[in-house]
Amino acid sequence: MNIIVAVDEKWGIGKNGTQTVVIPEDRRHFRKLTDGAAVIVGHRTLLDFPGGKPLPCRKNIVITRNKDLKIDGAVVVNSLDELFKQLDGTDPDKVFVIGGDSVFKMLLPYCKYAYVTKIMVSPESDAFFPNLDRLENWSLADAGTPKEHEGITYAFQVYINKSPLGV
Ligand SMILES: NC(=O)c1ccc[n+]([C@@H]2O[C@H](COP(=O)([O-])OP(=O)(O)OC[C@H]3O[C@@H](n4cnc5c(N)ncnc54)[C@H](OP(=O)(O)O)[C@@H]3O)[C@@H](O)[C@H]2O)c1
């Protein structure tokens, strides 16, 4: 499986349950990469989506500890075991972990590629992604081309994990 995330200069990913900086082209990049794929999302991040609803054109797999939760248009799982059963037979290249903080940290070791939108700003954050430049298993495979939106520089980067855990 893969991971997709937008981080700031300090690898911050959000504050008070939401993303602090949004770049429209990053949203398009996200849609393009995840279109038709399975996306794995924590319950809190799902609630931050428009209308608190699953994303269209993707198989949404929502992680929660709430055993009674039912969500129209999504598969709900209560544990990693259930998640992996749900992914059985799915092409791992078509599976993306899309957040948030707790789900990123839990599933990062299983991911082969990390699609990281690096946004060169430093807002205050209370949620952080692990700094992949400091993790031994991970290396930068594509530094991307710097782009600009309203004076903010960003780049679509790709990191690779040399020894992802098997599912
Ligand atoms: N920058 C980005 O690309 C990006 C993308 C997505 C999210 N984010 C940021 O991430 C932050 C939210 O992260 P978060 O950690 O608070 O929330 P989260 O990971 O989206 O969701 C947390 C919830 O997931 C469920 N969960 C987590 N681990 C579980 C496990 N092992 N088993 C069963 N259920 C589990 C629990 O749901 P229940 O409480 O229902 O039991 C938990 O409360 C926000 O700031 C958001 O903006 C950033």
Q: How does pLDDT run across 62-100, given as a tens digit for each residue?
A: 999 999 999 999 999 999 999 999 999 999 999 999 999
Task: Determine whether the shortest distance from the Cβ of 99 to ligand 1 is under 6 A.
Answer: yes
**Topology given in CATH for the domain delimited by 2-161:** Dihydrofolate Reductase, subunit A (3.40.430)
| Beta strand spans in the chain (E) | 2-7, 12-14, 38-42, 59-63, 74-77, 95-97, 113-119, 127-128, 138-142, 147-149, 152-161
Given this model, what pLDDT does residue 167 score? 72
Name the residue at shortest CA distance from atom 32 of ligand 1.
79
The tokens describing 93, both together, are: 């290249």
Task: Determine whether the shortest distance from the Cβ of 42 to ligand 1 is under 6 A.
Answer: yes
Average pLDDT, the chain: 97
Name the residue at shortest CA distance from atom 31 of ligand 1.
79
Q: What is the mean pLDDT of residues 3-14?
A: 98
Domain range annotation of the chain = 2-161
Q: How does pLDDT run across 129-148, given as a tens digit for each residue?
A: 999 999 999 999 999 999 99
